[in-house]
């Protein structure tokens, strides 16, 4: 299953990259042709300028990524010399971490290392929860289909980058690929969510929100409630995937204990499910009220259109 997911993610990524390159070339050709109509020299200048911009935008993320310090390799705990060397290197790195300095932690103290790691984990947790909340609200309300997928991808990429900067180190390219493959596979294969029964956690929360928010929507209540529940469920699943990826990213960036991949995935799913309930409780009421207002307008318009169409048909039929 893991190899199949990797192949699916690889081919999907290559297909998306090919589509993006084709669209980019097509749009660039149109812009250059428009500039060339004004003057051939201007068209050439626009082509050169756009090419330089593309190269800059392509290389800048790689340059920023490789500026980050390499991750410290976790040694065998049985080897005391390597473990002490690892601890000393970790302390030295954390001394230059801006979050540790802002917290006023003196890394010279023996007990400072666990405190510093807990501080960084707290910052990373805040970033992951904030991103998941934005994903939940935006995808539940917008219902834009494929555009929601692009939005989630952008938000998750930004979250991953910020988590790496919080820990002030970069995971290896292979680890980053593992993060994206893991989450992409989860998004493509719904069975991956079976590691944790997310439905059991969402059902009581969404049910309470629906009961509290749908009291004024008596006409067409069942249809309207179904619309709101589907929107809330879609936003919840996207938020769950975001939280799950954040948990995996935190492990690769800030974990100092070797764990098998299966353990990492299960732990990430469990933690994501727990945090998701709090996000829904905090943001769900406002989202459900917004969706109810949208649903009322949608179904009211549909009802008026159906009433008008039926009336016209009956009039034409002489009824």
Measured distance CA(164)–CA(168) in Å, rounded: 6
- Predicted pLDDT at 217: 47
44-57 average pLDDT score: 92
pLDDT of residue 195: 47
> What share of the chain has pLDDT > 90, as a percent?
10
Q: Is the pLDDT of residue 168 over 90?
A: no
Q: What is the pTM of this model?
A: 0.62
pLDDT at 302 over 50: no
| Average per-residue pLDDT for the chain | 73
Span 224-264, pLDDT tens digits: 666 667 777 778 888 888 898 888 888 777 766 667 777 77
Q: 235 near 139, Cβ under 8 Å?
A: yes
Q: Would you say 269 and 119 are in contact if contact means Cβ atoms under 8 Å apart?
A: no
What is the per-residue pLDDT for 306?
47
Range picked from 16-20, 74-78, 232-236 for highest mean pLDDT: 16-20
- Residue 155 pLDDT > 90: no
Give the pLDDT band of residue 194 (cuts 50, 70, 90).
very low
Q: In angstroms, how far is CA 180 from the centroid of its own chain?
A: 10
Residue 18 has pLDDT above 60, yes or no: yes
| Residue, of 159 and 286, whose pLDDT is higher | 159
What are 109-120's pLDDT values in tens digits?
A: 878 888 888 899
Q: CB 234: neighbour CB atoms within 10 A? A: 16
* pLDDT beyond 90 at 142: no
From 2-16, 63-77, 177-191, 261-275, the region with the lowest mean pLDDT: 177-191
* pLDDT at residue 314 is higher than 90: no
pLDDT at 226: 64
**pLDDT for the residue 300:** 53
Residue 299: exposed, middle, or buried by beta-carbon count in 10 A (0-12, 13-18, 19+)?
Answer: middle
Residue 51 confidence class, pLDDT cut points 50, 70, 90 = very high
Tell me the two tokens of residue 257.
């204990």
Closest CA to 239 of 137, 160, 164: 137
The pLDDT value given to residue 207: 56
Rounded to an integer, what distance in angstroms lies between the CA atom of residue 116 and that of residue 94?
8
Q: How many helices (H) and strands (E) does the chain have?
A: 10, 0
User: Residue 29's pLDDT is what?
Assistant: 92
Q: What angle do the packed helices 112-142 and 146-167 form, to 10 degrees?
A: 170
Burial class (CB in 10 A: 0-12, 13-18, 19+), 88: exposed
Which of 15-29, 131-145, 239-253, 286-300 shows the highest mean pLDDT?
A: 15-29
pLDDT (0 to 100) of residue 202: 57
Residue with the bigger pLDDT between 119 and 281: it is 119
pLDDT bucket at 124, cuts 50 / 70 / 90 = very high
pLDDT score for 312: 40
Q: Where are the domains of the chain?
A: 2-67, 80-298
Q: Specify the higher pLDDT residue, 270 or 74.
A: 270
What is the C-alpha to C-alpha distance for residues 57 and 132, in angstroms, rounded to an integer? 27
Residue 287 gets the label, from left (phi > 0), alpha (psi -120 to 50) or beta, of alpha
């Amino acid at each position: 299953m893991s190899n199949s997911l990797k192949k699916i993610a690889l081919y999907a990524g290559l297909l998306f990259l090919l589509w993006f390159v084709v669209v980019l070339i097509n749009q660039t050709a149109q812009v250059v042709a428009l500039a060339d109509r004004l003057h051939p020299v201007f068209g050439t200048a626009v082509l050169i300028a756009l090419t330089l911009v593309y190269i800059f935008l392509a290389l800048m993320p790689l340059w920023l990524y490789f500026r980050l310090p390499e991750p410290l390799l976790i040694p065998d705990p049985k080897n005391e010399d390597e473990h002490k060397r690892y601890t000393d290197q970790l302390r030295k790195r954390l001394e230059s971490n801006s979050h540790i300095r802002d917290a006023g932690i003196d890394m010279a103290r023996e007990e400072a290392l666990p405190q510093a790691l807990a501080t960084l984990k707290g910052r990373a947790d805040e970033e992951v929860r904030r991103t998941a909340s934005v994903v939940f609200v935006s995808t539940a309300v917008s219902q834009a289909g494929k555009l929601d997928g692009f939005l989630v991808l952008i938000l998750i990429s930004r979250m991953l980058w910020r988590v790496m900067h919080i820990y002030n180190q970069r995971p290896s390219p292979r680890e980053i690929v593992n993060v994206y493959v893991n989450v992409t596979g989860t998004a493509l294969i719904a069975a991956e969510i079976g590691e944790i029964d997310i439905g059991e956690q969402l059902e009581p929360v969404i049910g309470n929100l629906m009961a509290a928010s749908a009291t004024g929507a008596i006409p067409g209540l069942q249809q309207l409630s179904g619309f709101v529940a589907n929107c809330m469920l879609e936003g919840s699943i996207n938020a769950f995937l975001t939280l799950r990826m954040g948990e995996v990213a935190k492990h690769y960036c800030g974990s100092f204990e070797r764990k098998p991949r299966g353990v990492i995935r299960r732990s990430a799913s469990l933690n994501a499910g727990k945090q998701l309930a709090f996000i829904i409780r905090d943001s769900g009421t406002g989202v459900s009220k917004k969706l109810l207002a949208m649903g009322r307008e949608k179904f009211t318009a549909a009802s008026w259109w159906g009433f008008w169409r039926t009336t016209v048909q009956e009039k034409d039929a002489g009824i």
